[in-house]
Each structure stands twice: as C-alpha cells, then as structure tokens.
C-alpha cells in the first residue's frame, strides 16, 4: 500500500464539524422542534443536489454525454455547489483521472487502497497539485468557470443562506439550516461516495471484467441511477447508466424528458450491438476462467 498523503486540515475539520451538526440536526428535530416544512426542504435539497451531481457534474460536465440549456447548467452548478463536493471543474478533473487510471496508482479514489480510502479517505488527504489539463472543454464554459472562481460564495449561498432564508418563512430558520444544510450534506456525501467505494466491491460485472466497477441496484437507488457502475465504466459516453428497461435510473429519465422540450439534446447512446457484444465477451471470459479453475483444481489433486 502506498504512503498516504498528509491530511487536508480544512477538509478534515469541515467534514468532522458537518457530521457533528448532522447529529445535532437529528437531536433538534427529536427533542426541540420538529417542522415538516424543514424536513421537506431537506428532502428536496437531497433530491436536487443528488440530481445536480448525477446529471450535471457527472453525466454533463465530466462526461459530455449530452448537451443542456444554460438554465439546466446553472441549476446543476448552483445546487452542485450546495453539495460541497468542490467546483464542477475540479470534480470533473478528478473524475476523468479516475476513469483513465481506474484501480491504478494515480486513481484518486483507488479501491485497491481500501474501502475507507475510496469512500472518504482520499477527501481527507491533501490532493496532489495538477493543472486541470484534462478539462480544456470546461475551461471554455463561462458558467463552469464562474462557479469555479466563486465556488465558496456559491456553496455558502446555496447550502446556508438560502435554507436559512426559507426557514424564516415558517419560523424555523435554525432547523432549516441544520436539516437542509448539514444533515443533508452528510447524506449527500455518503451516497455519492458509495459509488467510489461500495460500487467497486459489491455487485455484478456484466459488461467488463477489466476493472473493479460493479452494477448494483442498491447504490443506484441512493444516487438516482449512478449504481450501474460497470456499465458506466465500459460505456462512459452513454448518457444512461441503467441501460436496461427495468434499471432504476431517474437521472436518465430526467435527461430524456427535458430533451422532449428542447432543454437537453445530443443524447449519446452506445449502440445495442456494442452492448450485447460486451455482455457476450464477459460470458466467454467467465467460462474460460471457470475452465482454468477446474484444470488447476484437477492438477492440484
């Protein structure tokens, strides 16, 4: 195992504080004041922030699997900022490195360094400096660059100021910030991080055995469809993650629905032939591995 990078004190301290305040939020609701409006705001925030990471940061910015109107892009960038997962520019740069170096030394959330490293450890440690050379397309996007240059302002407004202001409308500003802010942020973190950790150790690999990414209904449910990770790593330029009709992929449905009114377009899809071919190749590889295993067992006996 390679030596860990030094701790990022800012990230570590904020993550600890956020988890403490998430617990405070639960205690606040149970023992001090329960508000359906504040809870509802938290649920809405969890949904819109998860969507902004999935449809925006991931499938639009990291992998340009479709094109979107400025209204949607601004929505993704605003509520992506509320997720406190860095700017879309930096998030996409890290994610593109992950795809190009998956399971190897330079993979920022390499599962081979352990479950907790892939899940959250890599965030707690200082990131190596790089020049964002792998996101030249995003550097030309004025909205993406504005969010990157004003990320802290965007994060504070989206995750703190707006919930506080809305909470005043029903007389619970503190509860609104605790629930829609900190409790929701912690939930968003762990659901998003589950793709880097759980989706690389639990599930099936029907499209490729070349890396550790796996398809899992469970991780798909908590991330609005991101859990079909084996398919995604094999066909990263497809706007869908859940490619089969019964796969739970609300992000796919969201992107497709907006294409009907012109807010999304150029939706990229892997061909049916390529997908079927990938599945058949995996089946043949599995058969070959089983035969080799039987031969080794026979030779050993």
99 contacts 66 by C-beta, under 8 angstroms: no
At residue 301, the pLDDT reads 65
Phi and psi angles of residue 223, each rounded to the nearest 5 degrees, phi first: -125, 15
Say whether pLDDT at 285 is over 60. yes
**Residue with more model confidence, 24 or 106:** 24
270 contacts 237 by C-beta, under 8 angstroms: yes
At residue 290, the pLDDT reads 85
Complete DSSP assignment for 140-200: T-HHHHHHHHTHHHHHHIIIIIHHHHHHHHTT-HHHHIIIIIIIHHHHHHHHHHHHHTGGG
**Helix/strand/coil for 245:** coil
The pLDDT tens digits of the residues spanning 153-205 come to: 999 999 999 999 999 999 999 999 999 999 999 999 999 999 999 999 999 99
Say whether pLDDT at 1 is over 60. no
The pLDDT tens digits of the residues spanning 109-148 come to: 999 999 999 999 999 988 777 678 999 999 999 999 999 9
Distance CA 227, CA 239 (A): 14
At residue 88, the pLDDT reads 97
Q: For the chain, give the percent of residues with pLDDT over 70.
A: 98
Task: Please state the rounded mean pLDDT for residues 272-278.
Answer: 96
The pLDDT tens digits of the residues spanning 54-96 come to: 999 999 999 999 999 999 999 999 999 999 999 999 999 999 9
- Per the listing, tokens 């001090």 go with 32
- Joined together, the tokens standing for residue 205 give 């690999």
Task: Please state the rounded mean pLDDT for residues 24-33.
Answer: 96
CA distances from 293 to 223, 290, 299 (A): 36, 5, 10
Question: Which helix or strand (DSSP H or E) is residue 66 part of?
Answer: none
At residue 298, the pLDDT reads 75
At residue 131, the pLDDT reads 73
Sign of the C-alpha dihedral, residues 287, 217, 240, 89? negative
Say whether pLDDT at 206 is over 90. yes
Complete DSSP assignment for 184-231: HHHHHHHHHHHHHTGGGTSSB-SS-SSSS--B-HHHHHHTTSTTBHHH
Distance CA 150, CA 234 (A): 34
Instruction: Grade residue 4 by pLDDT with cuts at 50, 70 and 90.
Output: low
- Per the listing, tokens 């305040």 go with 21
């Amino acid at each position: 195992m390679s030596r860990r990078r030094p701790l990022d004190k800012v990230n570590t301290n904020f993550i600890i504080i956020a988890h403490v305040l998430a617990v405070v939020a639960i205690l606040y609701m149970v023992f001090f004041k329960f508000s359906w409006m504040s809870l509802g705001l938290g649920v809405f925030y969890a949904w819109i922030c998860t969507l902004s990471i999935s449809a925006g940061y991931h499938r639009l910015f990291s992998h340009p699997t479709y094109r979107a109107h400025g209204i949607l892009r601004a929505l993704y960038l605003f509520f992506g900022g509320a997720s406190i997962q860095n700017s879309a520019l930096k998030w996409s740069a890290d994610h593109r490195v992950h795809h190009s170096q998956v399971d190897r030394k330079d993979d920022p959330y390499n599962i081979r360094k352990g479950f907790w490293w892939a899940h959250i450890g890599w965030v707690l440690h200082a990131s190596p400096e790089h020049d964002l050379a792998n996101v030249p397309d995003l550097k030309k996007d004025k909205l993406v660059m504005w969010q990157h240059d004003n990320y802290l302002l965007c994060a504070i407004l989206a995750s703190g100021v707006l919930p506080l202001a809305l909470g005043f409308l029903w007389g619970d500003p503190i509860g609104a910030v605790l629930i829609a802010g900190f409790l929701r942020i912690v939930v968003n973190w762990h659901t998003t991080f589950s793709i880097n950790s759980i989706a690389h150790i639990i599930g099936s690999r029907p499209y490729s055995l070349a890396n550790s990414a796996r398809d899992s209904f469970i991780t798909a449910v908590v991330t609005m469809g991101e859990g079909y990770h084996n398919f995604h790593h094999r066909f990263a330029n497809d706007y869908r993650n859940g490619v089969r009709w019964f796969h739970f992929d609300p992000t796919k449905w969201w992107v497709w629905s907006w294409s009907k009114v012109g807010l999304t377009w150029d939706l990229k899809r892997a061909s049916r032939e390529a997908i079927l071919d990938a599945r058949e190749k995996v089946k043949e590889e599995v058969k070959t591995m089983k035969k080799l295993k039987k031969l080794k067992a026979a030779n050993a006996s």
